[in-house]
Structure 1
């Protein structure tokens, strides 16, 4: 095998179901990345909402373009730290696979309808897709084990390595997926591996700069308005991302961003020059954030090659503040847009009605794989989980189409 396996051992490369090595010159982790890249679940992200509804604008990101950008950021940062780039790339491509139609808004709706069976969480759904729903490999009893990724790659894709706990909204595994979760997390408690931390940071970096870029191009974000009256923006930053941040810390972080020689100062006018300048801003900010994390991590851990549980990603507090500020400025316009709020309420109602309609008629209208899951489910809780799996698998347009077919005839 290639050089990466001098640093990652056979425990890291092990799969839930053993498979023969078909191409000896290819690492297990390169195979993992290819499996995710060619998956139907990844393709479906092209029609799933990132922030703006998928398909409503030709410029802004959808879940697929966002995931590709996260993978590029994560892969390059991984290489500078010494992590296997294919592991981090695969984890970044996987990180949003479990998101349902309409993004976090849809996640909220499905969490409510699934409240009595353990709820719904996009990251837990990602693990379920990778290890069960996205069929590629089967065990000796004929059950799907999903893409059957290596332990190290599944671990890297696990953003919240714990089951649901009272009072906590984020978690990474449903109760009926605990067997494979326990296998991939052997002996590591709730600590996240370095590769998962790189994936999570790359997601934050991409989210922060690209949502602001999208907002400026769509003329939803005016950076001058932040300067004129920062208090409402800072309230959103604290509400969503940095609850302990003081006004002084946020003011100082914003001042650092504004002092950058590439920070946009002219009003955006849709010209090629303005588009090019804005693209340079996003590129420079990504470089600023990634370089700061790389340098801080090596300053603490010293070694040139850092992997798995040998190190933690170190992100300077000031950089975390700057990222939180950008995310908050982008989110401010989502939270405070009456038109978007009305649409989001309609989307939640639509998904709730769709689950109810499918549950009442199940398994009649389910896709063939979910019909089989429904037939094999041991009780009503497990059958409802199958219906939720079906709805979560849909894209934004297909959710609308299914709702129209089942409820609007």
Structure 2
């Protein structure tokens, strides 16, 4: 199944290197929370509190049992959404700090970036989008905003409604990878509209609040750092998992015909704004690096070699982006809308061909497996069963939402919220528990 390109691939970069004078790094407005709260510990900054709230959230813990590329139960080595998010946060924190961003803002955004993803990875996301087609669809990034501002229990508004984690404006903006409604985003490289979006219609009030004063459709620098860090971690670590799992033959990737297959996979799934020759040159550069291993036998020495390879690649990509951004925007603290992250085309090509390696040898073959159909069936069955039985099987927070829903569309959104909150493990368990009831109903 072709994958939507990331916001980075849409080319939202290097807006105005010579923009007018830069404002204060972070203003009082950046530190504002939608619902004012007294500081419990004056020695902690508002952004340190934001990071801590995300780190201690139940939504983050649940990522430990959610699919990244391979299911969390496939083996003890494979990454989950949680370990991926921790790695993204480490990459983003260091890159953001080097540019002058507040590291806690970037860290909070990176830890948050996958909170809205449902069970079974992108397969589950597509199934829920199909289920929710009549109520505005489902999108993991829009669901993340919903979790941070509504579903994750921490703070309540004056009217008694849940305000989610009630993060600062700067941290929420940094966590917003796609700052637009469905259908309002930039076109993909092939001219078709992007399917990605960052807010559902009924979450527009908080979205409008966090985007006050922001240029329409433009991401703040911290969100751009988060997005690049996600792409870097995704590309490098998925290849590492694939190599250790025996799904990628390192010597085979050196062959011209295999490299052509990788380029074809990149074009079919990601369609980045670089041509095929640039993609071919990128994979040539990568396999020619001294750090690129020729073989992997699972020994401790080879495991260390893989770790060195991934570490060096991360440093290569971050270093290139930092240098290009500094060249465009100068020295000093770069934050918010005072600069844009610049990713050299050669670096973008190298990142995306690594994603193509994982796609060709791991993700594309998996879409033909019976497991993929089974996962989609579980999602469809759970939504049907929960709608049919009202609030009987919902968790208590969602029972309250179900009772407060004004119509069938709102009730469906509550059910989608409930199913999206499940892990791979709990989705399977719920399905097994409800199987008898499902057979009676259907």
Q: Which residue of 2 aligns with 1:376?
A: 404
8 Å Cα contact 1:105-1:344 kept in structure 2: yes
Q: Which residue of 2 aligns with 1:97?
A: 115
Q: Could you tell me which of 215, 229, 242 is aligned with 1:202?
A: 229
Determine if the alignment matches structure 1 residue 40 to structure 2 residue 58: yes
Q: Which residue of 2 aligns with 1:234?
A: 263
Q: Which residue of 2 aligns with 1:395?
A: 423
Determine if the alignment matches structure 1 residue 56 to structure 2 residue 74: yes
Q: Which residue of 2 aligns with 1:174?
A: 200
Determine if the alignment matches structure 1 residue 74 to structure 2 residue 100: no
Residue 18 to residue 336, structure 1, CA distance change in 2 (3 Å)? closer
CA deviation vs aligned residue, 1:296-345 (integer Å, no higher than 9, x gap): 10010002210000000001000000000000101112344258632112
Residue 244 to residue 194, structure 1, CA distance change in 2 (3 Å)? closer
Q: Which residue of 2 aligns with 1:262?
A: 291
CA deviation vs aligned residue, 1:181-227 (integer Å, no higher than 9, x gap): 00000122110000000000000000010000000000001132223
Identify unmatched segments of 5+ residues in structure 2: 1-22, 185-192, 438-442
Quote how far apart the aligned CAs of 1:261 are. 1.6
- Alignment TM-score, normalising by the size of structure 1: 0.96
Residue 227 to residue 247, structure 1, CA distance change in 2 (3 Å)? farther
Q: In the aligned structure 2, how far is the partner of 1:406 from the partner of 1:120?
A: 23
CA deviation vs aligned residue, 1:122-177 (integer Å, no higher than 9, x gap): 00000000000001000111110000000000000000000111843100000000
Q: Which residue of 2 aligns with 1:215?
A: 242
> Which has the bigger relative contact order, CA under 8 A and spacing at least 6?
2
Q: Which residue of 2 aligns with 1:333?
A: 361
8 Å Cα contact 1:238-1:244 kept in structure 2: no
Q: In the aligned structure 1, how far is the partner of 2:275 from the partner of 2:159?
A: 56
Q: In the aligned structure 2, how far is the partner of 1:150 from the partner of 1:336?
A: 39
Q: Which residue of 2 aligns with 1:351?
A: 379
Q: Could you tell me which of 287, 297, 301 is aligned with 1:273?
A: 301
Identify unmatched segments of 5+ residues in structure 1: none
CA deviation vs aligned residue, 1:355-383 (integer Å, no higher than 9, x gap): 01111001111000000000001111001
Q: In the aligned structure 1, how far is the partner of 2:108 from the partner of 2:51?
A: 4
Determine if the alignment matches structure 1 residue 186 to structure 2 residue 212: yes
Q: Which residue of 2 aligns with 1:9?
A: 27
Quote how far apart the aligned CAs of 1:244 are. 4.6
Q: In the aligned structure 1, how far is the partner of 2:309 from the partner of 2:392?
A: 51
CA RMSD of superposed structures (Å): 1.4
CA deviation vs aligned residue, 1:30-69 (integer Å, no higher than 9, x gap): 0000000000000000000000011211001000000000
- Alignment TM-score, normalising by the size of structure 2: 0.89
Determine if the alignment matches structure 1 residue 251 to structure 2 residue 277: no
Q: In the aligned structure 2, how far is the partner of 1:36 from the partner of 1:327?
A: 27
Q: In the aligned structure 2, how far is the partner of 1:282 from the partner of 1:357?
A: 44
Q: In the aligned structure 2, how far is the partner of 1:97 from the partner of 1:142?
A: 24
Determine if the alignment matches structure 1 residue 386 to structure 2 residue 414: yes
Determine if the alignment matches structure 1 residue 319 to structure 2 residue 337: no
